[in-house]
A and B are shown apart, each in its own frame.
Chain A
């Protein structure tokens, strides 16, 4: 069993992270009835007995004493982290895992990346090392951050390069919250593009999430919960946005949206933590879904969004879950994968679903999904027997799909609008270590990425003949 460390950077990163830890505890409490510190728990938590000497770390198999999250929390303002430490999750974090400053990054990527990146480098490496040392077998770093601000975006990507340098063998899965078009941070396009380059070069895979999609999903659920149509009453605590049953008290704003991202992370790791008839470890994600090193942007979609209170689940519902995974309403970025080209797709199923259900649905949906010519059957599947809390089954689809191209192009548009007029540029160039070439290189990197997706898209319409096979000399 392997362990993963979550690194949450910036306000958004920490708020999402906080929801993640809450829901993780809830999930394990649901599954782990005996109170034993088992392998599944150890993937995200340490078990600490403060009465023991030498840090008090307890091995797997004993009773749960004190669970500590395998996390490093970084923020250049104190507000969010302080709130976490005063909230019900305070026991889960050790002060040694935190790094804060007072003044924030002023929504400036350069400040986050250059100024704080170099100032706090030693300390960050130190904390990461400690977290890694507590692990028997560290498999993956989960970085959570937003792209539009200064800390999450700048310092977050600095941490990413650090992770690559110091822990080259450990997988880096980055969850990036992309700003919507109506973002209130004016310089978010600059920050996002500067960060994108880092993600393309240093991450193993990126799970892009757009705020607007989260808002849409939350609204959809709220409409459903208030509709009170007979037969459509939502089962309590079963929505993907619900945090009930966790430690935290009443919901704060953004909690609903952040719960979705937290659920995404829980579902991605479920097959690595719990047993199933077809397991999927975290290293298999990159292996199967990243055919070329730079094309590692995987569009997530989660279904179902809620479970209806009606307990009997006919097979039709199950099939509906699979169909929904490909609908544009369930994607976590504003994209329509069905009308773009699939390079690869992973289906991670949890709960009471058998291989025949999986195969039936793949066969059913396959004809309507365009796959690239050299990967016509590009499916990676996994079956985990443990369902998420409140559901009897769920599906997470990760698609490496060219539908990210429009998102990136739009981002570049917004960037160009600002950059053309050199708006706010001086704030960045004033930062020590920052040069204008960073901007042009970053946008070039994005353009070449878009071009790669474009090339693949171009093959969609064409009929690509099979490559001639090797022939045997007779």
Chain B
């Protein structure tokens, strides 16, 4: 069951490359190797492992770097003709990406994806990877997702988004993010989100990296994504690795069309030099992970243990003032030794969820006895919850403030996005935000 990765823009290409690296190196010497490789790679006529990936960017430097880096590593490579680039980027302009570059190169991109899809024996789905801050990943990415939705109406399309640092990487990042999210909500089956800020904190506080580079940040993101996408046994897979990972993820988590934003956290994360000296126990890991979910803590450090699920009193704020993170659905993925002995009852507590689904339906569990990426035991939680509400709100708020002064709008109008389009996107996101914020726990 194969996944075709569509890598868009500088970030999309850089993160996807790290993901493929993680998947490949994790799969080596493991019993799940065949399944893993089949999912992301195929063998060409020379017996080399070639990624099932399409690389798209509106300027050539990143793709060239990616291609040569993969070719040099000697372990896997990208297809000769699986990439498309132009000379002039999108200039951080969503409108340029969506209205100009997207339509202009539609045919070429569709053809490249079609070739990869046809090469798969069975298509598990498409994974589009991009950032929301720039012009290509966000604008061209949104347009390409739309095309793919039209061409493959019955396939699963997941978008993986990297959200930028909150304190600015690109000045118009909030505009680009709002426009992207509003469009993807209509098109995507599920949207997996990683924030640069979180990954950066993991690098500095958990991995103890002194001089953090984008490569380090991307590796953290790839590690977390990899732990979701590597083969696993699910409730429906009947003792073999799931043949439908993307579909099962979507059905486990994206249960309502207006709630599609998914966050994830992985535990443990530590410098690789320390792993050999650490022991892990499932109870310990799961306890931390559950509290991370409840208190909306994206990593193991600084977890607020005061936050508790509401116990019928209706109030859902803790003594420390942080509020409880209500979930719609959760997917727990356990990998490693003694995985069958892990007790996951804590995640089935109805107090964690809204009342729409019984906690049995809201919680899903995947397991694999094979360890992941050097960690003897590791657990990843993918959540459809209020976790992304705060950064989303921040993003929309800043974009709205800027929009009120009409700053930079002339740059978007130049390429065909009007004030109306902006307003539509804002409206759509405010609706989503409001939906999320009004979720209440079943116990309350």
Contact = CB atoms under 8 A, between A and B. Distances in A.
Answer whether A and B are interacting partners.
Answer: yes
Interface of A: 1-2, 39, 136-137, 139, 275, 277-279, 281, 283-284, 286-293, 344, 354-357, 359, 362-363, 366, 373-381, 383, 466-467, 469-472
Given A39-B60, A472-B434, A288 B410 contact: no
Contacts of B59: 1-2, 279, 281
Contact of B65 (A275, A356, A378): A275
Given A136-B87, A356-B211, A469 B397 contact: yes
A140 B62 CA distance: 21
A380 B168 contact: yes
A419 B10 CA distance: 53
Given A1-B61, A467-B400, A292 B407 contact: yes
B411 interface: yes
Contacts of B60: 1, 39
B340 interface: no
A359 B167 contact: yes
Contacts of B171: 288-289, 344, 375, 378-380
Given A287-B172, A354-B212, A377 B87 contact: no
B137 to A, nearest CB: 12
A377 B168 contact: yes
A39 B63 CA distance: 14
B212 A374 contact: no
Given A2-B88, A359-B165, 9 more contacts: A277-B214, A281-B89, A287-B92, A288-B172, A290-B408, A344-B171, A469-B400, A469-B430, A472-B430
6 contacts: A139-B88, A277-B213, A284-B89, A362-B167, A374-B407, A472-B430
Contact of A293 (B167, B211, B410): B410
Contacts of A380: 92, 168-171
B426 A470 contact: yes
Contacts, number: 136
B430 A278 contact: no
Interface in B326-358: none
Contacts of B211: 354, 356-357
A355 B168 contact: no
A137 B89 CA distance: 11
A281 B404 CA distance: 28
Nearest to B215: A277
B319 to A, nearest CB: 29
B200 interface: yes
A326 to B, nearest CB: 16
Contacts of B209: 356
Contact of A287 (B87, B93, B398): B93
Given A287-B92, A293-B410, A356-B204, A381 B214 contact: no
A180 to B, nearest CB: 32
B121 to A, nearest CB: 36
Contacts of A1: 59-61, 87
Contacts of A293: 410
Q: Can you list the 5 inter-chain pairs with the closest CB atoms, starting with the nearest?
A: A283-B91, A356-B212, A379-B168, A291-B407, A137-B87
Interface in B77-127: 87-89, 91-93
B28 interface: no
A288 B174 CA distance: 12
B62 A279 contact: yes
A467 B401 contact: yes
Contacts of A467: 400-401, 404
B88 A281 contact: yes
Contacts of B210: 356
A312 to B, nearest CB: 15
B405 interface: yes
Contacts of B426: 470
Nearest to B61: A275
